[in-house]
Amino acid sequence: MHKIDIYDTSLRDGAQTEGISYSVNDKILIAKKLDELGVDFIEGGWPGSNPKDLEFFKAAKKIKFKNSKLTAFGSTRRKDKTASKDPIINALAASGVKIITIFGKSWDLHVKDVLKVSPEENLKMISDTISYLKSKKIDVFYDAEHFFDGYKYNPDYALKTLLTAQGAGAGVIILCDTNGGTLTSEISEIILQVKPHIKAALGIHVHNDNAMAVANSVAAVQAGCTQVQGTINGYGERCGNADLCAIIPALQIKLGYRCIRDANLKDITEVSRYVTEVSNMKQQDNQPYVGTSAFAHKAGVHINAMVKNPLTYEHIRPQAVGNERRYLASELAGKTSILFKAKQLSFDLAKDGKDTQKLHQLIQKLEFEGYQFEAAEASFELLIKKTLQKYKKFFELEGFRVVVEKRQDNTLISEATVKISVNDKKRHTASEGDGPVNALDGALRKALQDFYPELSKMHLSDFKVRVLNSKAGTAAKVRVFIESQDEKSSWWTVGVSENIIEASWQALVDSIEYKLLKERREPK
């Protein structure tokens, strides 16, 4: 089985997506996830282009990657400096990575109009930069920017830039369709022409402006490239980069290449959704392989045939990429997964029992309202216990009130009061906070602390808000996820309401109830 190296540039090219703005911490979360998936290379950013990327490489030094190698990205040296005196090249070399990807110009139009140097000087910029980094014992991948456009305008010069990079010691030469407008037929044809001239390994890096990024990447591999650059979900500038979530399964399942471990293929859907969440983007329902609609059948004739033989309307088994089949017309989905989750939580339910039925209906209703339990298992466990009447309330709410006030001098005050009772003992407390939810959290803890001192050992560690029907404007429904943790574990809870305070309250209460339940649980 031929190995194809997967080079992920989500953290650099993907960060150019309109609407994405990663914090250093976001980038670290994504890098760790990519390492788990087992891509070969993770391009962390362009140290020297902005302070955030410098900070990322500093933080990344402390991470021990199990499967992936971290790379940094940068341009050829400036036209008026030697590589050894160029501060950006030196920042790159100092980033601590063992592999650096350098991009340079292959299209003479760019050399003339953008760099404004002679064709010869551009070749020197390429060779100087690569030689200098190689002298520092750093491996270099060379991204031939605009290669396909350049080759169409001036094939001799474009080829010369590749040979220069190869001569200077680049280990892999990546042919880029930077503007994303090259047709699949041109990609194949040009690679077949170029390949005989190049001894180094070839890679492919394409954009999606023609809606052909995945087809072009696969065609490039068929024509002889052995490294594929792309991003999770195809994030990237303009119309995006090539979507690795489609390329990896196509190469591995359909063409028999090896990109990642076979056992990891089924993690692709989860990785796609995780990166979507961290990027705070909306997952595209119809995204190939990993979208929620990718294996959803709606037409009557299709569903009829699917029941007879799933091969009839599915190009691969959805499980192969960790996705699932859905039938839209008949709301059949669900029960199996409920039984499975209940079992994980040590509830043994019968497949056609009354409790299963009741739970199934309740969950369908709640999911229709916008709840989502996949990412909030603590709320799911509470829901099962409450439905099976295995649950005793820890406190009664008599009411809460949250006030946010802004004065003319811009002072902003958030205050909450909470009234609860535990076994008829009442508490009425108040708290200020950094915002309304923070104030509410404070007041509730104050009210419960005499009864449940163990709550002082837990704290909220994450908070997410997603607007569900955003077209309803400020009256839209929101879903809130809260993560809590104590010294032993962490857990997620969920709340949904048109009122963000109420949605947060639901998740807050679940989080506290789950903690109290956890403390009282019999050892299994």
Using CB under 8 A as the binding rule, the residues of this chain from 299 to 318 that contact a second copy are 299-302, 304-305, 308-309, 311-316
Interacting residue with a second copy among 67, 131, 179, 387 (CB under 8 A)? 179
Q: How far is CA 507 from the centre of its chain?
A: 24
- 47 vs 291 by CB, closer to a second copy: 291
Interacting residue with a second copy among 34, 246, 275, 383 (CB under 8 A)? 246
Can residue 486 be called a binding residue for a second copy (CB under 8 A)? Answer: no
Can residue 192 be called a binding residue for a second copy (CB under 8 A)? Answer: no
Can residue 272 be called a binding residue for a second copy (CB under 8 A)? Answer: no
**Contact positions with a second copy (CB under 8 A) in 370-389:** 372, 374-375
Can residue 181 be called a binding residue for a second copy (CB under 8 A)? Answer: yes
Q: Position 313: which residue type? A: Y
Interacting residue with a second copy among 130, 194, 206, 294 (CB under 8 A)? 294
Query: Which two three-digit tokens encode residue 117?
Result: 């140097």
- 124 vs 207 by CB, closer to a second copy: 207
Can residue 110 be called a binding residue for a second copy (CB under 8 A)? Answer: yes
> How far apart are the C-alpha atoms of 161 and 343, rounded to whole Å?
61
Output the smallest distance, CB 155 to a second copy, in A.
18
Can residue 449 be called a binding residue for a second copy (CB under 8 A)? Answer: no
Residue 56: its H or E element: helix 51-60
Read off the DSSP letter of residue 86.
-
- 84 vs 499 by CB, closer to a second copy: 499
Can residue 16 be called a binding residue for a second copy (CB under 8 A)? Answer: yes
> How far apart are the C-alpha atoms of 20 and 31, rounded to whole Å?
16
Q: What is the dihedral of CA 118, 119, 122, 128, to 10 degrees?
A: -100
Output the smallest distance, CB 61 to a second copy, in A.
21
Could you tell me which residues are beta bridge partners of residue 200? none
> How far apart are the C-alpha atoms of 229 and 239, rounded to whole Å?
16
Which residues lie below 8 Å from residue 347, measured CB to CB, with a gap of 6+?
384, 388
Q: Which of 348, 351, 352 is nearest to 388 (CA)?
A: 348
> How far apart are the C-alpha atoms of 455 and 453, rounded to whole Å?
5
**Contact positions with a second copy (CB under 8 A) in 386-415:** 396-408, 412, 414
Output the smallest distance, CB 361 to a second copy, in A.
14
Can residue 7 be called a binding residue for a second copy (CB under 8 A)? Answer: no
- 68 vs 106 by CB, closer to a second copy: 106
Can residue 206 be called a binding residue for a second copy (CB under 8 A)? Answer: no
Interacting residue with a second copy among 97, 170, 478, 512 (CB under 8 A)? 478
CA distances to 388, 505, 507 from 479, rounded to whole Å, are 25, 11, 9
Can residue 250 be called a binding residue for a second copy (CB under 8 A)? Answer: yes
Query: Which two three-digit tokens encode residue 260?
Result: 């990642």
